[in-house]
């Protein structure tokens, strides 16, 4: 068993050795192969790697969805380098999580905690795979708890940011001092004092029954355009689109400034996405955009992200 214990943060890892050992036994390397023709391949590639961890001794593992979306072959590898074939049980495009399952039973599961009592400055550490049979650990503290929006159509109402940089591949656990998973490490960030973003474990806990059954959580389906946006000077600018996605088919173009949706003014990404999500997939959405010196009204036949990436 090969371990790389070099922390990314300046301070040494504060968790005791026994707690770290338990966490490492439950953390796995993920290997995914995606067909070249799958729509996610154009932005995420066809060979992906990530981290994941066991949440239930029935063989269930959590990771981030971008690692496994579109996978036709999926394997998880422990620190003992034992490999298990895996399947996707459920992908949650709303939270960005994916639930996997292996045939093996009795793998050690990590306990989860909700973020209701998580506090700024609380000590945490992140465990992440850096390859088959290898993992790294980084420690730090919670630096932000609150909303987060991304350049794709994604909002977390209660994200966790920490001073610890994710030391490896996305999808590993963010652990508190008692060894409980508070979040799932997703992205590294550039903001000073907010080095990593984690998805709170609440998103899994709130929908656990539906996710384990493979069903869509109630009310989950919402309109999706397949666009990428930047927020600049109280304006939202389209930076790009997925090829053959709803926005692309409707004629939206990179550089379009979205000023209104269904007649309601737009000044930030979060409000833009929420106006999209007021619709069900398939419903038309009217965007007013400024392109050069001209203003255009473009009606988009909205889609469903899960169906697009199925």
**Which pTM does this prediction carry?**
0.91
The pLDDT of residue 13 is: 53
Q: How many CB atoms sit inside 10 A of residue 267's CB?
A: 14
Cβ neighbors of 133 (< 8 A, separation 6 or more) are: 1, 2, 29, 77, 78, 79, 80, 81
Q: How confident is the prediction for the chain on average, in pLDDT? A: 92
The domain ranges of the chain are: 17-109, 227-308
User: Would you state the pLDDT for residue 219?
Assistant: 59
Report pLDDT for 190: 79
State the Cα–Cα distance between residues 68 and 237, nearest whole angstrom: 29
**In the predicted model, is pLDDT for residue 105 greater than 90?**
yes
Q: What is the pLDDT of residues 182-193, one digit of tens each?
A: 999 999 987 767
Confidence of residue 15 (pLDDT cuts 50, 70, 90): low
Q: Are 141 and 162 in contact (CB under 8 A)?
A: yes
Q: What is the pLDDT of residues 218-272, one digit of tens each?
A: 557 899 999 999 998 889 999 999 999 999 999 999 999 999 999 999 999 999 9
- Rounded to whole angstroms, the Cα distance separating 296 from 182 reads 45
Summarised one tens digit per residue, pLDDT across range 275-306 is: 999 999 999 999 999 999 999 999 999 999 99
3-state secondary structure of 299: strand
Q: Residue 252 class from Cβ within 10 Å (0-12 exposed, 13-18 middle, 19+ buried)?
A: buried
Token code pair at residue 53:
């961890």
Homologous superfamily of domain range 227-308: PDZ domain (2.30.42.10)
Phi-psi domain of 231 (left: phi exceeds 0; alpha: psi -120 through 50; beta: other): beta
What is the dotted CATH code of the domain comprising 17-109? 2.40.10.10
Residue 14 binned pLDDT confidence (cut-offs 50, 70, 90): low
Asked if pLDDT for residue 9 goes beyond 70, the answer is no
pLDDT value of position 6: 40
What SS3 state is found at 25?
A: helix
pLDDT of residue 18: 81
């Amino acid at each position: 068993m090969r371990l790389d214990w070099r922390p990314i943060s300046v301070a040494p890892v504060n968790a005791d050795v026994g707690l770290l050992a338990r966490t490492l036994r439950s953390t796995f390397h993920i290997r995914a192969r995606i067909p070249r023709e799958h729509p996610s391949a154009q932005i995420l590639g066809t060979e992906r790697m990530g981290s994941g961890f066991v949440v239930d001794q029935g063989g269930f593992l959590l990771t981030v969805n971008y690692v496994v979306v579109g996978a036709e072959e999926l394997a998880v590898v422990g620190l003992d380098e034992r490999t298990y074939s895996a399947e996707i049980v459920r992908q949650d495009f709303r939270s960005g999580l994916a639930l996997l399952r292996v045939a093996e039973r009795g793998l050690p599961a990590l306990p989860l905690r909700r973020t209701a009592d998580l506090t700024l400055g609380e000590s945490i550490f992140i465990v992440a795979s850096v390859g088959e049979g290898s993992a790294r650990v980084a420690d730090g503290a919670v630096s932000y708890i609150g909303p987060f929006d991304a350049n794709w159509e994604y909002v977390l109402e209660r994200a966790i940011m920490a001073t610890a940089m994710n030391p490896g591949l996305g999808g590993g656990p963010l652990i508190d001092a008692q060894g409980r998973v508070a979040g799932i490490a997703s992205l590294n960030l550039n903001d000073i004092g907010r080095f990593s973003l984690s998805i709170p474990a609440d998103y899994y806990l709130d929908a656990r029954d539906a996710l384990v059954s493979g069903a869509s959580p109630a009310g989950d389906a919402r309109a999706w355009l397949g666009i990428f946006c930047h927020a600049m000077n109280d304006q939202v600018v389209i930076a790009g689109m997925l090829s053959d996605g709803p926005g692309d088919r409707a004629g939206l173009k990179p550089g379009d400034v979205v000023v209104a949706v269904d007649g309601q003014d737009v000044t930030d990404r979060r409000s833009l996405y929420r106006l999209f999500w007021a619709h069900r997939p398939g419903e038309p959405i009217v965007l007013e955009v400024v392109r050069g010196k001209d203003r255009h009204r473009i009606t988009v036949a909205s889609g469903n992200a899960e169906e697009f990436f199925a």
